[in-house]
């Protein structure tokens, strides 16, 4: 589904990603872990199409097509979703209107008819139940006045609505209390299927108690320095990133 | 980012103005220039009674003593008032069987503007007075309304058919001495609408005037007068467009509203005059005086305006809260793009006890434009317990435009409570990217964000027009964010 080859990315002349290689197949759940400043969020933003970055070399294929050539909205149409670390507030725009515009823009770009109002509302209800988000959130303006936890839950709700093939969740767990963390994890698990894939980016091992990854990658200083199964996360938790640091030096 | 923004800004062309066409129809015009003879000619063409001509001449003589106001935050080029045409009317070519018939060419023009003049084709529940250049072409549903005693007709017709009403109320809210443009309008005004709602009548349909400038080098000086008797209600909508031309054209209108005891008048404007091209060439100069008086106790006047057009806008729809327990409202969205300039706002004059006013102003500036809110809240000594709430928000798109707020508060009564809130925000790249990531294009994202921002005002428009206004906002700002 996703194939990243030797991806190098700079911002203001400083190299952040120094040759990333990754393959994600349908049905897989990957966790990318790493300390602050290792390049995790940069990788997520580049995959979603944020323009701030300069891609100096490398290739990214999404479903066999060159991802980096495409605009952010084309990537969304192709089925890529980014759960934001810091979800953006859009005052005055209701969640209902926002989601409806998003879904129907994507459908239009795919050559499909827009959803009728009743189809749309039915879908809203279903997905709200699936991710256990309350109506009080979906009746408000996009992220406006939401608490940190509510914003993250709202990201999961949007993911449920848009049914992406590849979801990248950028530190969705940061700043969550244990209850919110459970809800977010449950949402991710409920949405998992053999046809889609998820990349969970996280700083802590904590989230991985609720979401079991197939693969764990450790991003350090712009490179994947270790990859393995879920046991790698436990090892990291135990020994800390210092351990990687030492390994690197050796 | 800067290059990208310049690139997108460059993509904005005048072609986006949808109503820029010109109807090639024979015009009965007088020569350029303004003097007493011109005023006599206009009055004679309209078969006006003597009092009207006298009013015009008095106004003209007063205008000669006045200077153009310079206090607004506007850069207004010198206007040669002798280089304008003050009367121009389309000549109906086809042979008409009755007075009510309209030249097919004019019907076609208004069809193209989305304003069908045949009653069966109109939006149900909206009566229209269609004005082109200096005359009213057709007023629909006149008979239906007349059954309720409502008078809805062109101003010229009102002067001839209802001279007593016109005489009683014309100039009672905006005297010709009020300001430079009001004096000019009072001297040369051509057509406009007149509306009278009798006591206790709730007008069953939206009344609407559509103003179209067509002829070149011609100024439009319309005048609208709305009188709502005790316990009556009317909702009014005004729309306007003009062809795209390289020369600037002058529009100086007056709207007067009189609300008597417990009457309610809602007046909404969707102003879409040609704004000029992206270099700032051409466009309408819009110098308008709109004012209402809540004359009787418990009356209410509400202004809603969506301002997207005009090269220059100078306009302050106001309410004089004379009666006790009266309410004045002003809801405004003013959009400026490219090189447009707007200085717009309101005046709320509290005279009666327990009078209330609310001001919601949403400015949106893009391109190289300048957008100013200017508002006065004045509480006179006798206005016990007067209340005002003002909220003035500015939204910036890009970093080359300007937004300004000039609130004036004068209170002579200690029991008055006046609140003012103001915010300035920018459409952020991160907001746009967030929408993009959800599959929404940049243009649609701007539309979504801007309409969200302006929602409180858009909600005040009658349903059918709110949808149009939303689209208009989006079109006006197309390509304005990088």
- Sorted by where each begins, the domain ranges of chain B are 15-428+459-469
Q: Which of B348, B360, B358, B237 shows the shortest CA–CA distance to B294? A: B348
Count of CB atoms within 10 A of residue B77's CB?
A: 9
What interhelical angle do A178-191 and A148-162 show, nearest 10? Answer: 10
CA distance A56 to A190: 37
Give the pLDDT score at B30.
81
Confidence band of A182 (pLDDT split at 50, 70, 90) = confident
Dihedral through CA B441, CA B444, CA B445, CA B447, nearest 10?
A: 160
Structural tokens at position A157: 């709700």
Q: Which residues of chain B have pLDDT under 50?
A: 1-15, 95, 99, 482
Chain position carrying tokens 């103001």: B422
B41 burial level (CB within 10 Å; 0-12, 13-18, 19+): middle
Contact B437 A92 (CB under 8 A): no
A153-164 burial code (b ≥16 CB/10 A, e <16): bbbbbbbbbbbb
Q: For strand A197-202 and strand A14-24, is the pairing parallel, antiparallel, or unpaired?
A: unpaired
Contact at 8 Å (CB) between B256 and B224? yes
Give the residue-averaged pLDDT of A119-144.
87
Largest CA distance in chain B: 68
φ, ψ dihedrals at B197, nearest 5°: -110, 120
- Is B458 in the A-facing interface, judged by CB distances under 8 Å? no
Give the pLDDT score at B1.
36
Q: What is the mean pLDDT of chain A?
A: 90
Tell me the chain B residues in contact with residue A51 when contact means C-beta distances shorter than 8 Å.
Answer: 1, 433
Q: Is A160 a residue whose pLDDT tops 80? A: yes
Give the pLDDT score at B151.
94
Contact at 8 Å (CB) between B357 and B328? yes
CA distance B240 to B130: 10
Largest CA distance in chain A: 61
Q: Express as a percent the part of chain A with pLDDT over 70.
A: 98
Give the pLDDT score at B286.
92
B278-312 burial code (b ≥16 CB/10 A, e <16): bebebbbbbbbbbbbbbbbbbbbbbbbbbbbbbbb
Q: Which of A200, A197, A204, A168 shows the shortest CA–CA distance to A185? A: A200
User: In angstroms, what separates the C-alpha of A109 from chain B's closest C-alpha?
Assistant: 9
- Looking at the DSSP bridge assignments, the partners of residue A55 are A9
Q: Which of B81, B482, B420 shows the shortest CA–CA distance to B248? A: B81
Residue range A2-249 forms a domain whose CATH class is alpha beta
Q: Is A190 a residue whose pLDDT tops 80? A: yes
Dihedral through CA B303, CA B308, CA B311, CA B317, nearest 10?
A: 10
Nearest CA in chain B to A50: B433
Give the residue-averaged pLDDT of A73-101.
94
User: In angstroms, what separates the C-alpha of A180 from chain B's closest C-alpha?
Assistant: 22
Give the pLDDT score at B213.
73
User: In angstroms, what separates the C-alpha of A68 from chain B's closest C-alpha?
Assistant: 14
CA distance B196 to B168: 12
How many interchain CB pairs under 8 A, A with B? 75
* Global model pTM greater than 0.90: no
Structural tokens at position B189: 């005004």
Q: Which of B337, B343, B325 shows the shortest CA–CA distance to B473? A: B337
């Amino acid at each position: 589904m996703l194939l990243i080859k030797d991806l190098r990315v700079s911002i203001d002349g400083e190299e952040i990603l120094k040759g990333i290689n990754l393959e994600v197949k349908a049905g897989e759940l990957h966790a990318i872990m790493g300390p602050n400043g290792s390049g995790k969020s940069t990788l997520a933003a580049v995959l979603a199409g944020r323009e701030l970055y300069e891609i100096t070399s490398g290739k990214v294929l999404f479903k066999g097509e060159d991802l980096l050539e495409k605009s952010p909205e084309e990537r969304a149409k192709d089925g890529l979703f980014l759960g934001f670390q810091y979800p953006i507030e859009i005052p005055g725009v209701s969640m209902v209107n926002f989601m409806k515009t998003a879904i129907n823009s994507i459908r239009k770009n795919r050559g499909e008819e827009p959803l009728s109002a009743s189809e749309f509302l039915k879908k809203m209800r279903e997905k709200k139940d699936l991710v256990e988000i309350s109506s009080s959130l979906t009746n408000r303006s996009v992220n406006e006045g939401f608490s940190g936890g509510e914003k993250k839950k709202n990201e999961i709700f949007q993911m449920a609505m848009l049914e992406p093939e590849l979801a990248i969740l950028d530190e969705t767990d940061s700043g969550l209390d244990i209850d919110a963390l459970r809800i977010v994890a449950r949402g991710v698990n409920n949405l998992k299927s053999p046809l889609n894939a998820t990349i969970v980016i996280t700083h802590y091992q904590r989230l991985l108690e609720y979401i079991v990854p197939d693969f764990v990658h450790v991003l350090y200083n712009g490179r994947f320095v270790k990859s393995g199964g879920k046991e790698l996360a436990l090892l990291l938790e135990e020994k800390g990133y210092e351990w990687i640091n030492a390994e690197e030096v050796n | 980012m800067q290059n990208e923004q310049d690139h997108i800004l460059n993509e904005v062309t005048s072609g986006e103005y949808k109503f820029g066409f010109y109807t090639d129809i024979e015009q009965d015009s007088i020569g350029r220039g303004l003097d007493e003879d011109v005023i006599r000619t206009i009055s004679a063409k309209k078969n006006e009674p003597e009092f009207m001509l006298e009013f015009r001449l008095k106004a003209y003589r007063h205008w000669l003593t006045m200077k153009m106001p310079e206090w607004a935050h506007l850069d207004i080029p010198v206007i040669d008032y002798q280089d304008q045409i003050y009367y121009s009317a389309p000549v109906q070519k086809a042979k008409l069987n009755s007075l009510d018939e309209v030249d097919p060419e004019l019907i076609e023009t208004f069809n193209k503007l989305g304003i069908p003049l045949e009653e069966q084709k109109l939006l149900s529940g909206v009566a229209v007075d269609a004005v082109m250049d200096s005359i009213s072409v057709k007023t629909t549903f006149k008979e239906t309304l007349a059954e309720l005693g409502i008078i809805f007709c062109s101003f010229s017709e009102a002067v001839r058919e209802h001279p007593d009403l016109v005489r009683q109320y014309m100039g009672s809210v905006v005297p010709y001495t009020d300001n430079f443009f009001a004096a000019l309008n009072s001297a040369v005004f051509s057509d406009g609408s007149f509306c009278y709602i009798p006591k206790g009548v709730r007008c069953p349909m939206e009344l609407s005037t559509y103003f179209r400038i067509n002829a070149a080098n011609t100024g439009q000086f319309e005048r609208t007068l709305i009188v709502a008797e005790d316990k009556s209600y009317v909702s009014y909508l005004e729309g306007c467009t003009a062809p795209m031309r390289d020369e600037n054209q002058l529009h100086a209108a007056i709207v007067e509203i009189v609300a008597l005891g417990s009457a309610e008048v809602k007046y909404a404007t969707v102003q879409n005059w040609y704004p000029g091209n992206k270099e700032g060439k051409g466009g309408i100069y819009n110098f308008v005086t709109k004012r209402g008086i809540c004359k009787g106790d418990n009356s209410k006047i509400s202004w809603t305006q969506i301002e997207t057009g005009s090269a220059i806008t100078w306009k302050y729809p106001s309410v004089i809260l004379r009666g006790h327990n009266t309410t004045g409202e002003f809801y405004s969205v003013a959009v400026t793009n490219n090189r447009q300039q707007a200085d717009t706002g309101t005046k709320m004059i509290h005279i009666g006890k327990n009078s209330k006013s609310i001001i919601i102003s949403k400015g949106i500036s893009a391109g190289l434009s300048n957008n100013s809110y200017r508002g006065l809240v004045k509480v006179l000594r006798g206005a016990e317990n007067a209340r005002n709430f003002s909220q003035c928000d500015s939204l910036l798109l890009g970093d080359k435009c300007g937004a300004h707020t000039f609130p004036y508060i004068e209170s002579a009564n200690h029991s008055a409570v006046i609140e003012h809130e103001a915010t300035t925000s920018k459409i952020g790249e991160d907001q746009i990217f967030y929408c993009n990531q959800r599959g929404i294009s940049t243009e649609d994202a701007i539309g979504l964000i801007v309409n969200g921002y302006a929602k409180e005002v858009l909600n005040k428009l009658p349903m059918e027009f709110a949808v149009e206004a939303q689209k208009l906002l989006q079109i006006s700002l197309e390509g304005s964010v990088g």
